[in-house]
Amino acid sequence: MTSSHRCAQRWGSSQTIQRFVCFEGRSGRVLHFRQGQFRFGVAFTDNPSTYWSKFAGRIDGVFSKTKQSTESHQKATRANPTTENSYKNVAASLCGELGTYMRDPRIDNAKGVLILLVVLGHYLEAINGWGDRYLSLFLTAIYMFHMPAFIFLVGMTTKQEGHRTRVLKFGIILVMFQLAYVVPISIINGERVVGLFQPYWVLWFLLSLIFWTLLTPLIVTVRYAFVMSIAVAIIGGFYPGDGYQFSIMRTLTFLPFFVGGILYGQRAITVSQILSTRWYLAVAFLGVAAVTIKLWGLEKGWLYGSFTYARLGVDTLFGTLTRAALLIASFASLIAFLACIPTKRGFLSTIGQNSLAIFVIHGFFVLIFQEAITRYGPLSLHWRSALVVPLSLITTVVLANPIYSRTIQAFAGSIGKRLLWDRKL
């Protein structure tokens, strides 16, 4: 199923025939239109004024020809089973024409919370939060689900076409920031520029995302892709080489979450909606899971997803069982997390929409803070802990400005166009 067809779906059982209704907001327009018992929704945010007159005219033209009473519509549906598909194809073609998909504010809100937790977690690591009993428990709770959930949502919103341009875009951004991180640090430390082929720190996500994007056509066509991805994640722990090289271990370890997002993302959202009325139970589950893992005495390397079983110093049986248990705990935790997410669009949505820019840039802020603490701030752990919360909020809010995301996209797009000649990135 293509992204355009995901826009068109049967929803509700209204027996009224309505004209389309447009809701305008800061992030664009959302169009809902209903014909008989079929209701469709289209959301688009990319220069909506450019398309609006043509879009509205097309909708009006289509439905001026297809209006009919409810009874005659039901008769037509019974007489011609393809009627439903014809309506779906109308909506799908419109969505495909605009190149857009329907945005769910819960997904943007969830990404907003998750990227804030990513920033907070890195600030806490910069002050050696793992060395404190309570901070390490908090970090365990964060790392148990924040990247699995983030990758799950990325998989859920991944389009099933245009792989070449997306891979090229991610690759350009990766090279840009790899040089931006590695070269200045090497110059400051007076060292040779090394490690260009090993993604620097936070940039592992971009390289893994490239691999996952390349696998998307297989994921949607191969039977039992989800089960196979779990097997790959568990067996991948036996990798004999350096798990950090080319982000191999994280690509394998977190693969089930990307695959799960593509195949079962909407079902997970539905389950989380059921749990949302008992959000306090979801929060309690996260707490209990974190305490259980901490009492189990697992090393933090298990939560990073970048270490092989040999690097963790465990045998075959313990490694496979632990990896499987952590996968189950992470999936359950991300469902519990989604149950706690607000459903209305707000500032969290803006943060979530610009999460990639925040992800790749915030490392500079963390490195500067870490260097400042080391050189000029002999503060106690409690004072440093008090600093990281407002710093995380400030960093996230500042980088959530769309100008950063647009600049990165524009720069990557301009290079991509030259590489692809007249192809649009």
- Separation of alpha carbons 347 and 108, rounded Å: 10
- Separation of alpha carbons 366 and 352, rounded Å: 20
Give me the pLDDT at residue 419, please: 76
Q: In this structure, what token pair is assigned to residue 325?
A: 């248990």
Q: SS3 for 40? A: strand
Give me the pLDDT at residue 27, please: 36
Give me the pLDDT at residue 215, please: 95
Write out the E strands in 196-336.
none
34 with 9: CB under 8 angstroms? no
Q: What is the pLDDT along the chain (425 residues), one digit of tens a residue?
A: 433 333 333 333 332 223 333 333 333 344 444 444 344 444 443 333 333 333 444 444 433 334 343 444 445 444 444 444 444 444 444 444 333 345 678 899 999 999 999 999 999 999 887 888 888 888 988 998 999 999 999 999 888 777 888 899 999 999 999 999 998 888 887 776 666 678 899 999 999 999 999 999 999 999 999 999 999 999 999 999 888 888 999 999 999 999 999 999 988 888 887 776 666 666 777 777 777 776 677 888 999 999 999 999 999 999 999 999 999 989 988 888 888 888 888 899 999 999 999 999 999 999 999 888 888 766 777 788 888 999 999 999 999 999 999 999 998 888 877 776 544 43
- Separation of alpha carbons 35 and 62, rounded Å: 11
Residue at token pair 């090993």? 198
Residues 6+ positions from 190 with CB-CB distance below 8 Å: none
Strand order across the 28-35 sheet:
18-25, 28-35, 38-44
- Separation of alpha carbons 298 and 259, rounded Å: 26
Among residues 200, 129, 31, which one has the least CA distance to residue 370? Answer: 129
Give me the pLDDT at residue 63, please: 39
DSSP string, 107-125: HHHHHHHHHHHHHHHHHHH
Give me the pLDDT at residue 279, please: 65
- Separation of alpha carbons 81 and 97, rounded Å: 25
- What element of type H or E holds 131? none
Give me the pLDDT at residue 357, please: 96
Residue at token pair 């995901």? 6
Give me the pLDDT at residue 96, please: 43
- Separation of alpha carbons 211 and 220, rounded Å: 15
Among residues 322, 300, 346, 279, which one has the least CA distance to residue 111? Answer: 346
Amino acid at 54: K
Give me the pLDDT at residue 277, please: 64
By residue count, the chain amounts to: 425
Give me the pLDDT at residue 143, please: 92
Total-model pTM: 0.76
Give me the pLDDT at residue 3, please: 36
- Separation of alpha carbons 271 and 168, rounded Å: 35
Q: In this structure, what token pair is assigned to residue 362?
A: 């915030």
Give me the pLDDT at residue 25, please: 34
- Rounded to a whole number of angstroms, the distance between the first and last alpha carbons of the chain is 22
Q: In this structure, what token pair is assigned to residue 68?
A: 């009919």
Give exposure, 300-325, as e/b (b: 16+ Cβ within 10 Å): eebbbbbbbbebbebeeeebbebbee
- Domain ranges for the chain: 3-98, 105-419
Q: SS3 for 44? A: strand
Residues 6+ positions from 264 with CB-CB distance below 8 Å: 226
CB atoms within 10 A of CB 190: 6
- Separation of alpha carbons 378 and 153, rounded Å: 40
> Most distant CA pair in the chain: distance in Å?
80
Q: In this structure, what token pair is assigned to residue 280?
A: 């306090």
- Separation of alpha carbons 324 and 302, rounded Å: 11
CA dihedral 168, 232, 203, 47 (to 10 degrees): 50
Q: In this structure, what token pair is assigned to residue 328?
A: 């189950």
Give me the pLDDT at residue 36, please: 41
What does the DSSP 8-state code read for residue 221? T
Give me the pLDDT at residue 24, please: 33
